[in-house]
């Protein structure tokens, strides 16, 4: 293996102390002890870490990043195209929603204007777009558009035919974000306990139902029983946090067909899947794009440099005037980064190339991890540059140790919660190692990642 921890000790002990203190000041969202490392630099897929543990304080490590930083570092660290876009995006004036913006207009025209890059999914003239700071905020806006579609814009009277539409369908194991409005969409208890619950009896109240994801029979049954009450369906085309679960072929198109037939809005949460499946959007199959009423994209959209999301909605879906104005709606800087990043991905053919690298990676992960370490890994799933390797029950109890071993072996990767216990006799899904590579990753880097993960798993005793 070519990798070895950099031998030199950190000469600047004071900086390490400041890193340790500052890391302590950062709210720990995970409850458990966090990894004792801080990232202080990066280039492409390589990350420079400083060890903050008492035993090896100040040690430097150079890792390969198999996480793409919560699946957001589209082009890896420090990409020249992104750097140049950041420069350009700061020199183009300040705008509001009320004022058109060159960067915003050029970006949207390039994507959704005549002949635009995404018009196969979103035909020109039928959709409009708003921007937010994060995937969660994008989904909040999508939910707002859905909820307001029940009423006339000013007086909050039900639109004809919408009186009984008080239900949203979401899927077991879904993750759509952390903000308050989204909590009812999440069925897992530990995401919801102690937080506001939906109340269909309240004025403007809402009911949320959950069915298993990817089960055509459960879907058919649900629509047969409840379509007349259904306002919208919110779906991740590939469930991420649940352990990288793709539905069977035809499932998403069947869902879209049912929604269209029963006048139910279809919301695709593509925050995670955007640009990761070898295509811009995962809502598609062999017959082409699967139509949606609202699509939310994020993560890779910001090219690893800005946290941003886009909500692409049918034109007739809008919120009450001023109700959703935000300071952050497609400002020039994110627009410049998105446009240049997307142009670069297109010009270099990175979607196709990343899918090829991902296919090889999936094969090698299967052979080296599931084949080589069946005590630790059970199954490889996923598509394109977004893969999951599910852990065994025994390894799931030792995620902390496994993460440390992976870092010691020279690779940084993340773990998804897994779907856990599911209804209808479906099998338990354990926590899952998520490997998301920047679109720039080479086959050699993917191979090296497999070797390092296998080396880390070998040390898990
Ligand atoms: C499918 C999905 N939706 C929404 C979100 C929330 O995005 P953000 O963390 O940018 O708020 C995530 C983040 O992991 C996600 O995977």
Q: Render 72-119 in DSSP notation, one character per residue.
A: T-TT-BT-HHHHHHHHHHTSS----SSS--HHHHHHHHHHHSTT-TTT
Pocket flag, ligand 1, residue 324 (CB < 6 Å): no
Q: Is residue 313 part of a domain?
A: yes
With the most atoms of ligand 1 within 8 angstroms of its CB, the residue from 132, 185, 295, 299 to mutate is 299
CA 335 to chain centre: 19
Residue 360 CB coordination number (10 Å): 14
Q: What is the pLDDT along the chain (461 residues), one digit of tens a residue?
A: 444 455 455 557 899 999 999 999 999 887 777 889 999 999 999 999 999 999 999 999 999 999 999 999 999 999 999 999 999 999 888 888 888 999 999 999 999 999 999 999 999 999 999 999 999 999 999 999 999 999 887 767 888 888 889 999 999 999 999 999 999 999 988 888 888 877 888 878 889 999 999 999 999 999 999 999 999 999 999 999 999 999 999 999 999 999 999 999 999 999 999 999 999 999 999 999 999 999 999 999 999 999 999 999 999 999 887 788 888 899 999 999 999 999 999 999 999 999 999 999 999 999 999 999 999 999 999 999 899 999 999 999 999 999 999 999 999 999 999 999 998 889 999 999 999 999 999 999 999 999 999 999 999 87
Residues 294 and 335 in one domain: yes
CATH number of 178's domain: 3.40.640.10
Please state the domain count of the chain. Answer: 3
Two tokens, residue 207: 């009911």
Pocket flag, ligand 1, residue 300 (CB < 6 Å): no
Ligand 1 centroid–CA 74 distance in Å is 15
Specify the ligand 1 atom closest to the Cα of 240.
Answer: 16
Ligand 1 centroid–CA 450 distance in Å is 26
Residues 354 and 344 in one domain: no
Residues 225 and 294 in one domain: yes
Q: Is residue 52 part of a domain?
A: yes
Name the pTM for this structure: 0.96
Enclosing domain of residue 248: 82-348
Two tokens, residue 138: 């994008």
Which of 295, 328, 348 delimits the end of a domain? 348
CATH number of 406's domain: 3.90.1150.10
Which of 296, 329, 348 delimits the end of a domain? 348
């Amino acid at each position: 293996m070519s990798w070895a921890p950099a031998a030199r000790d950190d000469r600047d002990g004071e900086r390490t102390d400041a890193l340790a203190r500052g890391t302590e000041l950062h709210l720990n969202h995970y409850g458990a002890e966090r990894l004792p490392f801080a990232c202080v630099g990066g280039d492409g897929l390589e990350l420079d870490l400083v060890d903050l543990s008492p035993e090896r304080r100040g040690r430097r490590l150079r890792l390969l990043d198999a996480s793409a930083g919560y699946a957001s570092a589209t082009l890896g660290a420090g990409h020249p195209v992104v750097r140049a876009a950041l420069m350009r995006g700061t020199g183009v004036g300040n705008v509001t929603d009320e004022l058109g913006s060159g960067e915003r207009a050029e970006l949207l025209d390039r994507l959704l204007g005549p002949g635009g890059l995404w018009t196969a999914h979103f035909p020109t003239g039928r959709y409009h777009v708003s921007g937010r700071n994060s995937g969660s905020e994008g989904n909040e806006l999508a939910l707002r558009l859905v909820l307001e579609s029940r009423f006339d814009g000013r007086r909050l009277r039900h639109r004809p035919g919408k009186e009984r539409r008080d239900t949203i369908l979401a899927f077991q194991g879904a993750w759509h974000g952390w903000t308050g409005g989204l909590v009812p969409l999440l069925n897992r208890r530990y995401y919801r306990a102690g937080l506001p619950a939906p109340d269909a009896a309240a004025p403007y109240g809402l009911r949320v139902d959950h069915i298993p994801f990817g089960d055509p029979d459960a879907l058919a049954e649900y629509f047969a029983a409840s379509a007349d009450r259904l306002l919208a369906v919110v779906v991740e085309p590939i469930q991420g946090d649940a352990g990288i679960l793709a539905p069977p072929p035809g499932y998403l198109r069947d869902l879209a067909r049912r929604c269209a037939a029963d006048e139910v809005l279809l919301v695709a949460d593509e925050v995670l899947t955007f640009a990761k499946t070898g295509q811009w959007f995962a809502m598609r199959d062999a017959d082409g794009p699967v139509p949606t009423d609202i699509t939310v994209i994020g993560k890779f959209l910001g090219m690893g440099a800005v946290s941003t999301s886009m909500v692409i909605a049918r034109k007739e879906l809008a919120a009450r005037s001023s109700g959703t104005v935000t300071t952050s709606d497609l400002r020039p800087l994110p627009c410049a980064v998105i446009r240049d990043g997307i142009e670069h991905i297109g010009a270099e053919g990175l979607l196709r190339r990343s899918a090829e690298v991902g296919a090889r990676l999936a094969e090698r992960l299967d052979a080296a991890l599931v084949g080589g370490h069946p005590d630790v890994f059970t199954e490889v799933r996923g598509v394109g540059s977004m893969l999951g390797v599910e852990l065994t029950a025994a390894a799931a109890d030792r995620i902390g140790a496994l993460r440390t071993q992976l870092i010691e072996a020279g690779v940084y990767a993340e773990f998804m919660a897994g779907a856990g216990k599911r209804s209808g006799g479906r099998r338990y899904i354990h926590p899952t190692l998520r490997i998301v590579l920047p679109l720039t990753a080479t086959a050699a880097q993917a191979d090296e990642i497999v070797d390092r993960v296998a080396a880390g798993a070998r040390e898990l005793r």
